Structure 1
Amino acid sequence: MVYKYKNMSVIQSFGPTSNAYLKGNFSPQVHEEEFNDLRIEGIIPPELNGKMLIRTGPNPRFKPRDMKYYHWFDGDGMMNAFYFENGKVRYKNRFVQTKKWKLEDKAGKALFGGIRSGMSTSFSGWIALKFGFFNLLKLGVRTILGKGPNRSQYESIASILNAANTNVLKQGDRLLALDEIGQPYEINADMQTIGIYNYENKLKGPSIAHPLTDFFTNETFTMGYNALPPFFQYYKIDAAGKIISYEPIDVPYGVMMHAFGLSENFVMFYHMPALFDIKNVGTREPFRWMPEKGARLGVMPRNGKNSDVKWFEIPLCWVFHNMNMYEEGDWLVTDVAKYSRIPLLDLGTENPSPPFSLDPVAILVRWRLNRLTGELKEEILTEKPVEFPNMDERFATKKHAHGYYVRLENGEQNDGLWNTLIHHNFETGKEQRYWFGEDCYTGEAVFTPKHADSPEGEGYLMNVVYDTKENKSRLTIFDAMEVDKGPIATVHLPRRIEYDFHGNIVEIQKS
């Protein structure tokens, strides 16, 4: 169903709504489809043969039980993949068949609420969660008393909120779909869901969607945050994708920590005041912005222990994503997309689903933190709204020469959040930019090298772009060193792809 508004199509898949997360290209695509031999402008680089771009994002399969308080983060994980096969490209999308997806698939309708609408869960949904009448009564009493669910109740709820809707990446030989509230789901290259992967039962709780890999040592590091103690857990993973060390980190309260920094010898934790407290689970705002708690950075040797962490107070801010972290003597240098406060959550407005124009925007800054004294120096790299800082990850943990991000220029934030691709050369300080055009919006740019041993930055960038006038999406492929020259190839889809979050380019076969 399509409704015209301000000369553009406002798609509202589940009927008229004021919810910003269910309109326009934030509105879901509920069908799984496959399109072969897509129309291509230009020539697909031969180095992409045998690879796939796979992305995931929130995409509710059924009409939410509470349309008013549905949140973008609630949607079922929908994977979108482009397969590169001998100069041709095919597209396929598939849902991650999570526990929630399977239960609702069997029922043929939504059974569960989300992070801001948990109490809209149906009675049959509560039964599926193994909440009998007395357990449900106990949960209601605890919520009224401001205590929130107990541990077993929370873990049952969290297993349903795990939608695997935030990132897809290769770890060892496994392809994993991840979110933040639960454990990864393993999938195969055809996007069939294999099931929960908990690292042979060594994953003690949830894990975040942004594990970081040092390609010089083939080690991966990740963490998990929680509403109950231990609030924060840190893991080291070997090249085969197995957890080889685990360390709970002492923090006084739980917060959302979407990402962290990794250098050659250290990790940096972002402990910022988006509080995740069990007392708030089940309320309209499970994540509370509490600036009085302040913001701080934790620094630890990446093979260290909890007792090795040093915490440093910093000016109030919020960070979802960083580009990289490297060392210069006693200084840790990292480029982050810095907000004044957390966007998308607890915005202090009576509107339960406020327009995106009310969200704060991020600017790209370079932090230099002295790991001995805690002195923080900040350099503003761009004052225009940016997000999704990215790089050639083969060189992560070392000083990077090239970085990529997306920016909003001359566009309407409520229609799409970003519309311009940037290549930032940190050696020259210059930017290359490509604006996708009027009423065209994009998300994260993903990099892949031409060859495994190519110099840093020699490769390709891929962006999915949505054209609001045509109501269709396209995949654009750039030479990463010549972004300003525009796409070297454009792959056209017969329909739109809903806005998603993150993805990666992975090899699925040898060329």
Structure 2
Amino acid sequence: MTAAKPYLTGHYTPVTDEVTATGLTVEGSLPPELDGRLIRNGHNPQPGVTPAHWFKGSGMVHGIRLREGRAEWYRNRWVHTPALDGAPYMTDKGPDLTASTAGTHVIEHAGRLLALCEANLPFELTADLETVGAYDFGGTLRGAMTAHPKEDPVTGELHFFGSSPFPPFLTYYVADAKGEIVHSAEIPRATASLKHDFALTRGHVVFIEGNVTFDPAEHSGIPYGWSDTQPSRIGVMPRGVDGARQIRWFSIEPGNLLHAANAYEDGQGRIVLEGPTVDREGFQLSWNWWVGAPGRGTEPGARSYTRRWVVDMAAGTVDEQIIDDLSVEFPTLNEAYLGAEHRYQYAVSFPDEAGFGGYGIVKYDRTTGARRIHQVGDARMPSEAVFVPAAGATREDDGYLLTVTSDLKQDSSQLLVLDAAGLDRVATVHLPRRVTAGIHGSWIPDSALDAPKG
């Protein structure tokens, strides 16, 4: 029964149709520099469809267009892939990389808007969120693409990878600022460990392999599970055409990381990496929720704690520690600092496994160790907080955080615009419907979509 699946209830209850609304009501004043679209992706199965796993639900993008202090429109659209019409991922000829849920993330690069799912090719969308079709970088991408590519804020290059449970387990790619793949390499000594995200520094690429790995006995449709025998490791690879041959793997404590907050080289040349992680029990509790298994399960993020790794390349050692006891997920930052040492990072807080605490937007000051939380209110859940810089910004946190709330009491949603410095509310945009709790999204300035496509 649908009611037994936690990912189809409460904040995650799917919407049943596609709508467009214009002239949205705004409380407060929208900053004029917010000239573009907030687009957020997530899993939203069609009416009558009950997927066996949260991740198997079809992707739906929700967009909010802001311009000149107005909220011009909201619209939501399913990403119309073959999988939406029932096409299977596995065929007698192998995987169909176009049979995607396309429901994990949405980004812009080189003027193209791409909906992503890590087991498939990207799907291109129009500026109005209609589906164009599968995109393979002009035939140069022949495998899957991660849902978490990284755009270098200095060069404009897009770094990404494709992973597989079968050799080659990991392939690394670089697309230039025009959107053309200019480099690819198979990564030596990678394993079938689940690699959902990675990190980029100014000089290195950082891969993370945790204890969650390919498990052909798992029949939920996502064939992965925890393995105590799977090594947990960090791979550090110099950027550049010969980097793959120089990769080094460093053992770390058991665990699993889905989302990296950031990585950088510190003043001593060490690699510093941070992100929320789960232990064995935490992963199993989340997995039970993801598949709707009988018994105890908790929402993703309920037992996920921020961890820091410091990799000393010269000494060949890794120092690691949990640096906060708050349950969080979906870390973000001012992406001008991606790959560089940053002071501030943001996340979504979750009730813990006992149900204590609430949903909120968290700001960490990594210099002082301070933590600030914007509580969104009873029965309300925020989405990942997307940072947008303010006009004329001079400080790292000069900007705004954009998050879409799901409000169960009012059966509604709002776009909250928060001041990134103090987490005070700047403006609220009232949306025409409750938006299903989702996963990742991006702020796409109009100037990016107006640029010629690569």
Q: TM-score, normalised by structure 1?
A: 0.81
Distance 1:349 1:37, change over 3 A: closer
Deviation at 1:391, TM superposition (A): 0.5
Give structure 2 stretches of 5+ with no counterpart.
none
Aligned positions of 1:188-207 closer than 5 A: 188-207=126-145
- Does residue 407 in structure 1 map to residue 390 in structure 2? no
Match in the other structure for 1:22 = 8
Aligned positions of 1:415-426 closer than 5 A: 419-426=359-366
**Which stretch has the larger CA shift, 499-508 or 356-365?**
356-365
Deviation at 1:462, TM superposition (A): 0.8
Overall identity of the aligned pairs, in %: 30
Separation in structure 1 between the aligned mates of residue 232 and residue 57 of structure 2, nearest angstrom: 29
Distance 1:194 1:418, change over 3 A: farther
Deviation at 1:351, TM superposition (A): 6.0
- Does residue 84 in structure 1 map to residue 66 in structure 2? yes
Match in the other structure for 1:251 = 189
- Does residue 45 in structure 1 map to residue 31 in structure 2? yes
Match in the other structure for 1:63 = 48
Give structure 1 stretches of 5+ with no counterpart.
1-14, 105-110, 115-128, 136-151
- Does residue 366 in structure 1 map to residue 305 in structure 2? no
Aligned positions of 1:100-499 closer than 5 A: 100-101=83-84, 104=85, 111=86, 152-153=93-94, 155-156=95-96, 158-160=97-99, 162-251=100-189, 253-276=191-214, 279-280=216-217, 286-303=223-240, 304-328=242-266, 329-341=268-280, 342=283, 347=288, 352=293, 356-357=297-298, 361-409=303-351, 419-451=359-391, 454-483=394-423, 486-499=424-437
Match in the other structure for 1:96 = 79
Deviation at 1:349, TM superposition (A): 12
Separation in structure 2 between the aligned mates of residue 353 and residue 35 of structure 1, nearest angstrom: 39
What is the SS of the residue equivalent to 1:170? strand
Distance 1:73 1:349, change over 3 A: closer
Deviation at 1:287, TM superposition (A): 0.6
Structure with bigger gyration radius: 1
Separation in structure 2 between the aligned mates of residue 317 and residue 390 of structure 1, nearest angstrom: 21
The one-letter amino acid of 1:56's match is N
Separation in structure 2 between the aligned mates of residue 504 and residue 371 of structure 1, nearest angstrom: 33
Deviation at 1:443, TM superposition (A): 2.4
Task: Spell out, residue by residue over 1:2-25, the C-alpha distance to the aligned partner (whole angstroms, 9 max, x if none).
Answer: xxxxxxxxxxxxx75211111122
Task: Spell out, residue by residue over 1:256-282, the C-alpha distance to the aligned partner (whole angstroms, 9 max, x if none).
Answer: 2111111111111111222225x4576
What is the SS of the residue equivalent to 1:17? helix
What is the SS of the residue equivalent to 1:31? coil
The one-letter amino acid of 2:22's match is N
Distance 1:87 1:194, change over 3 A: same
Deviation at 1:428, TM superposition (A): 2.2
Is the 8 Å Cα contact of residues 297 and 312 (structure 1) preserved in structure 2? yes
The one-letter amino acid of 1:74's match is K
Separation in structure 2 between the aligned mates of residue 406 and residue 200 of structure 1, nearest angstrom: 37
Is the 8 Å Cα contact of residues 166 and 179 (structure 1) preserved in structure 2? yes
What is the SS of the residue equivalent to 2:193? coil
Is the 8 Å Cα contact of residues 288 and 297 (structure 2) preserved in structure 1? no
Separation in structure 2 between the aligned mates of residue 26 and residue 380 of structure 1, nearest angstrom: 29
Structure number with the higher helix fraction is 1
Deviation at 1:489, TM superposition (A): 0.5
CA RMSD between the two structures? 2.7
The one-letter amino acid of 1:38's match is L
- Does residue 72 in structure 1 map to residue 9 in structure 2? no
Separation in structure 1 between the aligned mates of residue 179 and residue 314 of structure 2, nearest angstrom: 33
Deviation at 1:451, TM superposition (A): 3.1
Distance 1:281 1:232, change over 3 A: farther
Distance 1:395 1:362, change over 3 A: same
Q: TM-score, normalised by structure 2?
A: 0.90
Separation in structure 2 between the aligned mates of residue 200 and residue 218 of structure 1, nearest angstrom: 19
Distance 1:349 1:207, change over 3 A: closer
Task: Spell out, residue by residue over 1:374-426, the C-alpha distance to the aligned partner (whole angstroms, 9 max, x if none).
Answer: 32222433101011111100121111011111112589859xx9611111122
Separation in structure 1 between the aligned mates of residue 261 and residue 401 of structure 2, nearest angstrom: 15
Task: Spell out, residue by residue over 1:52-94, the C-alpha distance to the aligned partner (whole angstroms, 9 max, x if none).
Answer: 1001101112422xx4x62110111100011002222121111
Deviation at 1:348, TM superposition (A): 11
Separation in structure 2 between the aligned mates of residue 264 and residue 34 of structure 1, nearest angstrom: 41
Separation in structure 2 between the aligned mates of residue 345 and residue 233 of structure 1, nearest angstrom: 28
Within the candidate set 12, 18, 25, 1:32 is matched to 18
Distance 1:330 1:251, change over 3 A: same
Deviation at 1:473, TM superposition (A): 1.1
Distance 1:452 1:317, change over 3 A: farther
